[in-house]
């Protein structure tokens, strides 16, 4: 695979861009792989990448029923932060955030990581206490955050209205090295790196069954035929319940549509990400100038990839309270993704009752930020057969033991 560089851009400019290679090979399934990963979203691709990079395991197939990155990875609002409350969460999200810092260099692919800073507004006394507590917890965890005053909020984001009609801004939890990245590029960068290591990324191939013998996984049935494997990892977000059923076990997961929308592009007016959990909305500005707006999750289970219309109204109303200047913006488009929600709003990275079969899911409304850290931890679990330190607390057994990692506040509206 040719290296991307400033020199390569100049060379291709001179010869009419005829020398670029495809970023990844189109692959057909082989009979057998050491590892099959189901789901070519960010988490599946990152898992494959770290299997190769950290453990030298490259006889790997990533099987995707649609196109790679076409699930939640290509549908999210790209917020990256690690200001979670509980120690296991802060550890994996901060590992992930730190991997984002060098991802473009590591993958030789510009993922446009922009550590512009993320603030979570405190608009009730309860939130002030909660975010002060999180800032203290983050200090102990080595995650750089601070609780800032309303004046500092205004300084960082001049378009904000501090004295909203319902909830004034009382302060914010501020993480200066949090930010955004280009979601498609994250999937494409990992896919290219995996393909360069010799892995097969097989698109338009739906897994329809999981095969096993004597309680051990032996392969999968797919729309492109039977494929054997020694180890299998399911990384399919909102479809995790279906895959688990194929493997013969149940998951404590609900699938719901979560939606987002973008406005028409305008001149740069906001260079931080702002989340307002009490009024329920969040916003950032894309490099193209569109205001990227996150809405709520549907209150019922579904697979529509659209999201209910009333959420658009609620979200826009909340954001007009917070940023009155957006009231005159036209909204350009709206979409949804199917997110996989656990009861404690923390992910599952786990072995399963079927030997050789692993699962990574439950990232819910906030797993884009976790892609590299999750891939790192899941690859370690697959390679060693048991979860390492980053994943140890996120096993399925926590639901049986009542050992929840409660992140419902950190997850909230916010991503």
User: Rule CB under 6 A: which residues touch ligand FAD?
Assistant: 38-44, 63-66, 70-73, 75-79, 206-207, 235-237, 239, 258-260, 294, 337, 339, 363, 365-369, 415
Residue closest to 141 by CA, chosen among 98, 181, 101, 99: 98
Query: Is the CB of 75 or the CB of 398 nearer to ligand FAD?
Result: 75
Q: CB-side exposure of 345: number of CA atoms within 13 Å?
A: 15
Q: Least CB distance from residue 202 to ligand FAD, whole Å? A: 9
Q: Least CB distance from residue 411 to ligand FAD, whole Å? A: 10
Q: Least CB distance from residue 279 to ligand FAD, whole Å? A: 17
Q: Least CB distance from residue 14 to ligand FAD, whole Å? A: 37
Q: Least CB distance from residue 19 to ligand FAD, whole Å? A: 30
Distance (Å, rounded) from C-alpha 405 to C-alpha 390? 14
Query: Is the CB of 201 or the CB of 329 nearer to ligand FAD?
Result: 201
Query: Is the CB of 258 or the CB of 354 nearer to ligand FAD?
Result: 258
Residue whose C-beta lies closest to ligand FAD? 41
Q: Least CB distance from residue 300 to ligand FAD, whole Å? A: 16
Q: Judge contact between 228 and 29, C-beta under 8 A.
A: no
Residue closest to 367 by CA, chosen among 250, 258, 219, 278: 258
Query: Is the CB of 339 or the CB of 383 nearer to ligand FAD?
Result: 339
Q: Judge contact between 263 and 234, C-beta under 8 A.
A: no
Q: What are phi and psi of 328, to 5 degrees?
A: -100, 5
Q: Least CB distance from residue 120 to ligand FAD, whole Å? A: 13
Residue 78's contacts (CB-CB under 8 Å, 6 or more residues apart) are 180, 181, 182, 183, 284, 292, 368
Query: Is the CB of 128 or the CB of 212 nearer to ligand FAD?
Result: 212
Query: Is the CB of 115 or the CB of 150 nearer to ligand FAD?
Result: 115
Supply 247's token pair.
């493997």
Distance (Å, rounded) from C-alpha 99 to C-alpha 57? 20
Supply 60's token pair.
């790997």
Supply 267's token pair.
């001149």
Strand partners, 122: 171
Q: Judge contact between 112 and 118, C-beta under 8 A.
A: no
Query: Is the CB of 280 or the CB of 369 nearer to ligand FAD?
Result: 369
The one-character DSSP state at 343 is T
Q: Least CB distance from residue 209 to ligand FAD, whole Å? A: 9
Supply 72's token pair.
């939640």
Query: Is the CB of 44 or the CB of 52 nearer to ligand FAD?
Result: 44
């Amino acid at each position: 695979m040719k290296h991307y560089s400033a020199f390569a851009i100049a060379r291709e400019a001179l010869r009419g861009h005829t020398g670029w290679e495809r970023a990844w090979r189109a692959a057909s399934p082989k009979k057998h792989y050491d590892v099959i990963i189901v789901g070519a979203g960010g988490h599946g691709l990152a898992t494959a990448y770290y299997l190769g990079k950290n453990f030298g395991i490259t006889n790997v197939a990533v099987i995707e029923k649609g196109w790679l990155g076409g699930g939640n990875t290509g549908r999210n609002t790209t917020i990256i932060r690690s200001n979670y409350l509980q120690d296991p969460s802060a550890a994996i999200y901060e590992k992930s955030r730190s991997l984002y810092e060098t991802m473009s260099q590591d993958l030789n692919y510009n993922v446009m990581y922009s550590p512009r800073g993320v603030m979570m507004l405190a608009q009730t006394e309860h939130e002030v206490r909660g975010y002060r507590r999180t800032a203290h917890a983050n200090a102990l965890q080595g995650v750089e955050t601070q609780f800032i005053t309303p004046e500092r909020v205004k300084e960082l984001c001049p378009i904000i209205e501090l004295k909203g009609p319902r909830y004034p801004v009382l302060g914010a939890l501020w993480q200066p090295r949090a930010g955004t990245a280009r979601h498609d590029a994250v999937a494409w960068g990992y896919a290219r790196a995996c393909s360069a290591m010799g892995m097969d990324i097989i698109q338009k191939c739906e897994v329809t069954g999981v095969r096993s013998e004597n309680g051990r996984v032996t392969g999968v049935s797919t729309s492109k035929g039977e494929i054997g494997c020694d180890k299998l990892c399911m990384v399919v977000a909102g479809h995790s319940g279906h895959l688990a059923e194929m493997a013969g076990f149940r998951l404590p997961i609900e699938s719901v549509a979560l939606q987002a929308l973008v406005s028409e592009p305008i001149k740069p007016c906001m260079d931080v990400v702002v989340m307002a959990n009490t009024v329920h909305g969040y916003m950032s500005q894309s490099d193209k100038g569109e205001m990227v707006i996150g809405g709520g999750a549907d209150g019922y289970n579904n697979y529509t990839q659209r999201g209910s219309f009333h959420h658009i109204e609620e979200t826009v109303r909340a954001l007009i309270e917070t940023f009155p200047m957006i009231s005159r913006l036209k909204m350009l488009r709206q979409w949804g993704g199917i997110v996989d929600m656990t009861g404690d709003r923390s992910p599952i990275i786990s072995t399963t009752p079927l030997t050789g079969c692993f699962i990574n899911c439950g990232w819910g409304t906030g797993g884009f930020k976790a892609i590299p850290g999750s891939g790192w931890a899941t690859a370690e679990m697959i390679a060693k057969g048991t979860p390492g330190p980053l994943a140890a607390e996120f096993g399925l057994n926590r639901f049986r033991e009542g050992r929840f990692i409660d992140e419902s506040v950190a997850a909230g509206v916010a991503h």
